[in-house]
Amino acid sequence: MLTPTTENLIFDFGGVIMDLHTEKTYEAFAQLAGVPTETIREKVKQSSFFNDYEKGLMPDDQFRDHVRRMLKADLTDQQIDDAWNAMLGIIPLKRLQLLEKLRTNYKVFLLSNTNNIHLTFFNGIIRTVGQKPSLDEFFDQAYYSHLVNMRKPDPEIFEHVVAENKLNAARTLFLDDNADNLRGAEHVGLQTVHITYPDLIFSIFP
DSSP letter for 20, please.
B
Domains, the chain, ordered by start: 8-19+91-204 (3.40.50.1000), 22-85 (1.10.150.240)
CA distance 136 to 110: 8
pLDDT per residue rounded down to tens, the chain (206 residues): 899 999 999 999 999 999 999 999 999 999 999 999 999 999 999 999 999 999 999 999 999 999 999 999 999 999 999 999 999 999 999 999 999 999 999 999 999 999 999 999 999 999 999 999 999 999 999 999 999 999 999 999 999 999 999 999 999 999 999 999 999 999 999 999 999 999 999 999 98
Phi and psi at 161, nearest 5°, equal -65, -45
Alpha helices in 55-197 (DSSP H): 60-71, 77-85, 93-102, 116-129, 145-148, 155-165, 179-187
What global pTM score does this model have? 0.96
